[in-house]
Each structure stands twice: as structure tokens, then as C-alpha cells.
Amino acid sequence: MTIYDKSQSQKNAFERLLAKIPGFRGYLAKENRRESDKLEREFIAKAFDAAREPLRRTVRAVADSGNFDALRAVAGIDPLEKLVEKVANRVRFADYGYSGFFDAVKIGEPELERLYAFDLALYERAEQLEKRTRELPSLANDGDALKAEVSLLEQLVREIDRDFDQRERIVTG
């Protein structure tokens, strides 16, 4: 069940009454889509946010280990964390998957479906990122492995950031 479906099933009596008014049902449906899209994007952004804490734990683990090789690898973690934060905020504050009556750009059902598919894939990539960052603290004693993994993670996040531009193209047509 999608967030939109869940919001539809939890309407109160007033909302159900308003839905009976001719023409108002479509307006309500679009408003529900807007709210659902906002909740969905916040959920995805939090998945990216969750990837940041393991990065901080890795820095602490390396500092505690005293491994000088690993300390050099830690230098790449701060820019990586900032990049993850940037992507989370892009997701959080992206345009809505909705267009109102007076909006210049109209988003139809096919575009909404593409948008939802894109957002699902984005969430799965955020989960993958978070899972891989959770493994970083275990590399605190292996500077080369840590540096390589940080580099791979940075590539992944940069790729996600570039791919996120596609979402805007879906919204704007």
C-alpha cells in the first residue's frame, strides 16, 4: 500500500462529504497527492540522513584506533557526509509530484507513475548507501580498504545526485 493509498483510506467524515461535491473530489485527490509526495520525499531524505551517522562513527573509530594510514582516509569522509546531506536536502525540498489548476506545468498520471517509480529506486539506493556506511567503522584499522570504500561511496552519492536531475525533468516535462 502506497502512502497515497493509506491517506485515501484514512479520510474523516468531512473529507468524505467534500468528496461528494462535483469537481471537489479531483481537487482533494490532488491535495492528497501533494501531501503524500511530501511525506514520501521526507521518508527518502531520512534514509539519506541515516547514512551520515555511520560516517561520524567511522571518524571516531579511526581516531580511537590511532591508525595513521586510516587517518588519511578519514579526510574523505567529511566531504562525503556533506554530499550526502546535500542530496538529502535536494530530495526533501524537491518540487512536488503534483500540479494545481493554475500551475504552469501540469503533471499527468503517466508522469506521476514515472515519478513514483523513480522515487522508489531512489529510496532503494539510499538504503544501499546506508547499509554500506554502517560497515565503514569495521574498516577503521585498514586504511587502504577504508579509503577505497569512501571513494566508492562518494562515486555512488555523486551518481545519485546526478540522477536526481531526472526527477526534475519528469516534473517539468
The pLDDT value recorded for residue 84 is: 97
Tell the residue number behind the cell numbers 473529507, with chain if given: 15
Q: Under 8 Å CB-to-CB from 157, ≥6 apart: which residues?
A: 80, 83, 84, 87, 129
CA angle 81, 84, 126 (to 5 degrees): 130
The pLDDT value recorded for residue 98 is: 46
Amino acid, single-letter form, for residue 92: R
Query: Is the pLDDT reported for residue 73 higher than 90?
Result: no
The mean pLDDT value for 5-16 works out to 61
How does DSSP classify residue 12? Answer: -
The per-residue pLDDT for range 96-121, each reduced to its tens digit, is 654 444 454 566 777 778 888 888 89
**E strands within 17-149?**
none
Q: What is the pTM of this model?
A: 0.76
Q: Which of 126, 125, 117, 121 shows the shortest CA–CA distance to 170?
A: 117
Tell the residue number behind the cell numbers 546526478, with chain if given: 162
The residues spanned by each domain of the chain are 40-172
Q: Which of 134, 132, 155 shows the shortest CA–CA distance to 80?
A: 155
The per-residue pLDDT for range 20-31, each reduced to its tens digit, is 666 555 555 666
The residue that leads in pLDDT, 124 or 3, is 124
Query: How many Cα atoms within 13 Å fall on the side-chain side of residue 155?
Result: 6
Tell the residue number behind the cell numbers 502512502, with chain if given: 3
Query: Is the pLDDT reported for residue 3 higher than 80?
Result: no
